[in-house]
Amino acid sequence: MKKEKKSIAYLEAGISILLNIILFILKYIVGIKTASIAIIADAWHTLSDSFSSIILFFGIKISNKPPDKEHPFGHGRAEIIASLIIGIILTIVAFNFLIESFQRFREHQAANFSMKAIIIIIISIVLKEFMAQFSFWGARKTKSTLLSADGWHHRSDALTSLMVLIGIFLGKYFWWIDSVMGFLLSLMIFYAAFNILKKSISPLIGEEPDEEIVHKIKEIINTNIDQEIHFHHLHYHCYGSHKEITFHIVLAPDMKLVEAHNVADKIEKLIKSELDIEATIHAEPYHNENLPNF
């Protein structure tokens, strides 16, 4: 899976960088000729996708490095950090064009659109949505947060281009449409950045295991262990594709140490086999006060 994830990420990054640079050049030229802040903003948003893809490339490369002495849990969080950087780039892009749009509106600056602008924007919408779908497919296949973030970046660019296209058709009726489109585009970029940052920051800070994981662990124990076992005190750690979970199990106080070890060891191996999560289990004797609510 790691090799497949790496191959898909590299392919996505290569296609994205090439197409985004071509689209940036075309959009930027058209934006300058038409004096459209919305098209220029859209061009820079497209170029930021290239930066994202470069970050994607190195994020996947670093995250696939094996554990070493300094990083015993591997380098998987490099992928999450890379997603965080993408979110920051989007935030900066959105803020700059928010300011520019207000300035254009205040100065009553309008844009002059042409058929070339319409053609370029339509091509951009089609290509960016294709790139978004490819990234989402790769994210579903490899469970990659970074590929998903890059996909949303492509999707936001396709939506911004669609808004620009609407603005082009309305531009001849309203002088202010370009400034308003620029303003709306910046808000959309802000929203995309917020979602990416939220998904990146939360696992870096640390999250509790979701109910699905807890349910699966309970199912594994009930199905494979021939005695009733309660567990509690779960701690979940995500390092990209490498995941660790620790928890306590409550056993009979008169159980021999070797038996307790065998039970914990069996559960750990089952969790690794069925959930691909490294488990570390602490066994403790039964007391009324340490029975959990699971």
Q: Which of the four pLDDT bands, split at 50, 70 and 90, describes residue 63?
A: low
| CB 167, CB 181: distance < 8 Å | yes
| CB 88, CB 34: distance < 8 Å | no
User: What pLDDT digit, counting tens, does each position of 180-234 carry?
Assistant: 877 887 887 788 788 778 877 777 766 677 788 888 888 888 888 888 788 888 8
Place of tokens 């409550």: 250
> Which domains, from first to last, does the chain contain?
2-205 (1.20.1510.10), 211-290 (3.30.70.1350)
Mean pLDDT of 128-137: 86
Whether residue 247 has pLDDT greater than 60: yes
**Tally of CA atoms within 13 A in the half-sphere of 38 that contains its CB:** 34
User: What pLDDT digit, counting tens, does each position of 72-113 carry?
Assistant: 565 666 767 777 887 887 788 788 778 877 877 776 666 666
* pTM: predicted TM-score of the whole model, two decimal places: 0.58
b/e per residue, 23-56, with b = 16+ CB within 10 A? bbebbbebbeebebbbbbbbbbbbbbbbbbbebb
pLDDT at 267: 92
State how far the Cα of 133 lies from the Cα of 76, in Å rounded to an integer: 24
**Tally of CA atoms within 13 A in the half-sphere of 65 that contains its CB:** 16
Most confident of 31-45, 180-194, 225-239, 269-283: 269-283
State how far the Cα of 187 lies from the Cα of 161, in Å rounded to an integer: 14
Give whole-number Cα distances, 81 to 39, 63, 77, 193, 253, in Å: 30, 10, 6, 14, 44
| CB 119, CB 29: distance < 8 Å | no
